[in-house]
Amino acid sequence: MIALISIISVFSISLYVVLLIYLRIGWAKATVRHVPGPSFKTRVTVLIAARNEEANIGKTIQDLLEQDYPKHLVEIIIVDDHSTDSTADIIRSYEPQGVKLLQLKLGEVLNSYKKKAIAEAIKLSTGDFLMATDADCRMGKSWISTVVGFYEQNNLVMISSPVTYFQEQSVFERMQTLDFSSLIGMGGSFITLGFAATCNGANFAYRKDVFYEVGGFSGIDELASGDDELLLHKVAQKYPGRIGFLKHREAIVYTHAKPNLKEFMNQRRRWASKSTKYKDKRMVAFALSVWLCNFMLFFTAVLGIFNLYFLKLFFITIGAKYIIDMVYMTPIMNFLKRRQLLWYVSFTLPANIIYFIIIGFLGKNKKYAWKGRMVK
């Protein structure tokens, strides 16, 4: 039994190391691109679904209105998803500046309100290129021009761009930034290597005709989450090699970490729920490999309480994980100019072991709280 556990433990950490080396290579290949300012010709529609965002939506709109992209080529559509605060009134106050408000007024109970909101906005859109972000996000004035410049120069149908947390107020939020950055790096690395595995809907762009060509959210609309990643998978099947990751600082979108453990776990549970819809076996294998690595670290740590051999095995494997995590994370944090957060790897490492195991199980639980609703 000792030999079997040792073999599984060494195998899981070795596989994890190989996977992160692979991702590290992908991130290096996604070189920081210079996106010159061409004579833009693409009409863009910015899409936002908002629910109870009165504290944030005004700042997001202001950032969009200050974009340096030609004003006559930009359309902003914000969908108010049954907000119970003043979100709709704030959006409406910007209508004289061209911001369009669409209010969802649905009688039936849905599970995928956000997908419905985005789909309704797309129906009204006049742009050929759609840029989706969230109602609590901030972006620099060259966000649209940088993404569209990349799009026009590379004949792409879909673009994923970086998202990061900012304005952290606690150690817990800074730990989230480090962890979230690893996920953004993973998505960018995979896309660069030709495997469109994951992305983030806070900074996601695609051609409108392609959205309709793949059937929009049809087939994935029973899940509350997945307006980004599951759509990415649909497009990747139709257009392999035509999806890009824009590793450029002007393309970064900024948002906030979760203020407490409850909201953080609900967020990760929502993300994990999408895994039930993964059709690409490579993505399933990757997720299982990471989960197995973390489970074996936890398992050997527990066994180490009773047997010194397993305690030694735990320290060897977790040491290997720490080293490869640092190798993988350093260039990502350098790109985001948050290198100082690498000090938190020592804190996030044990926390990640536990939460990866828990989320692996909770992701199978169909119902969870999101935006004041119970969804699945």
* Burial of 123: CB neighbours in 10 Å, binned 0-12, 13-18, 19+: exposed
Q: For residue 33, what pLDDT is reported?
A: 65
pLDDT > 80? residue 280: no
For 69-91, how does the pLDDT look when each residue is reduced to its tens digit (9 = 90+)?
Answer: 999 999 999 999 989 999 999 99
Q: For residue 204, what pLDDT is reported?
A: 97
CA–CA separation, 147 and 249 (whole Å): 11
Pairing of strands 44-50, 74-80: parallel
When pLDDT is averaged across residues 46-62 and rounded to a whole number, the result is 96
Nearest 10 degrees: Cα torsion 30, 34, 35, 36 = -160
CA–CA separation, 3 and 74 (whole Å): 63
pLDDT > 60? residue 108: no
Q: For residue 243, what pLDDT is reported?
A: 96
For 155-203, how does the pLDDT look when each residue is reduced to its tens digit (9 = 90+)?
Answer: 899 999 999 999 999 999 999 999 999 999 999 999 999 999 899 999 9
For 351-370, how does the pLDDT look when each residue is reduced to its tens digit (9 = 90+)?
Answer: 888 887 877 666 555 555 55
User: Could you give the angle at the alpha carbon of 140 between the alpha carbons of 257 and 196, nearest 5°?
Assistant: 65
Report the predicted TM-score, pTM, of the whole model to 2 decimal places: 0.90
CATH topology of domain 33-170+194-267: Spore Coat Polysaccharide Biosynthesis Protein SpsA; Chain A (3.90.550)
* Burial of 227: CB neighbours in 10 Å, binned 0-12, 13-18, 19+: buried
Q: How confident is the model at residue 265 (pLDDT cuts 50, 70, 90)?
A: confident
Q: How confident is the model at residue 31 (pLDDT cuts 50, 70, 90)?
A: confident
When pLDDT is averaged across residues 101-125 and rounded to a whole number, the result is 82
DSSP string, 110-159: -S-HHHHHHHHHHHH---SEEEEEETT-EE-TTHHHHHHHHHHHHT-SEE
> Which of 38-42, 128-132, 233-237, 331-335 comes out lowest in average pLDDT?
38-42
CA distances from 168 to 214, 264, 338 (A): 38, 14, 12
Domain ranges of the chain: 33-170+194-267
Q: For residue 376, what pLDDT is reported?
A: 53
Q: How confident is the model at residue 346 (pLDDT cuts 50, 70, 90)?
A: confident
When pLDDT is averaged across residues 23-45 and rounded to a whole number, the result is 84
When pLDDT is averaged across residues 83-112 and rounded to a whole number, the result is 86
CA–CA separation, 122 and 46 (whole Å): 10
pLDDT > 90? residue 334: yes
Q: Pick the closest to residue 160 from 131, 182, 140, 135 (CA basis).
A: 131
When pLDDT is averaged across residues 60-72 and rounded to a whole number, the result is 96
pLDDT > 80? residue 225: no
